Amino acid sequence: MSKIIATSGKRKKAVARATIREGTGKIKINSCPLSTINSEFVRLKIQEPLIIGVETASKLDIDINVNGGGAISQADAARLAIAKGLVEVNPKLKKTFLDYDRTLLVADVRQREARKPNTRGNARAKVQKSYR
């Protein structure tokens, strides 16, 4: 594999763009090493496809740019972008990823519902009205 692979992943408002090339297994998110992420939960969520496809991932350098959304949405978007790239490098991983967790390869398209006018709090809460 001498070519560069570009993949993307989305979750809510977060968008991750991954660039995958031959290397030594370095993973950078927004130009910072993966190990610098403070939240262990977020770090492990991003590492899931890397752990499952460790033979393939150890031979690649992955650079991810993520923006928009919150921390968990960004982690889900990055995870999706990484998994898509690993499958493009090694198609045998596709069945493994789908058996483990379908959301590794298939985006969750649910979006936040817009708040409606004249309501308080969430999108569906209405002011109670009385007829008597």
Distance spanning both ends of the chain, measured CA to CA: 74
Q: pLDDT tens digits for the chain (132 residues)?
A: 668 999 999 999 999 999 999 989 899 999 999 899 899 999 999 999 999 988 888 899 999 999 999 999 999 999 999 999 999 998 998 999 899 988 889 998 999 899 888 888 888 888 888 998
For residue 99, give Cα distances in angstroms to 39, 64, 104: 27, 25, 10
> What is the C-alpha separation between 88 and 67, in angstroms, rounded?
23
Longest dimension (CA), the chain: 75
Domains and CATH numbers, the chain: 5-103 (3.30.230.10)
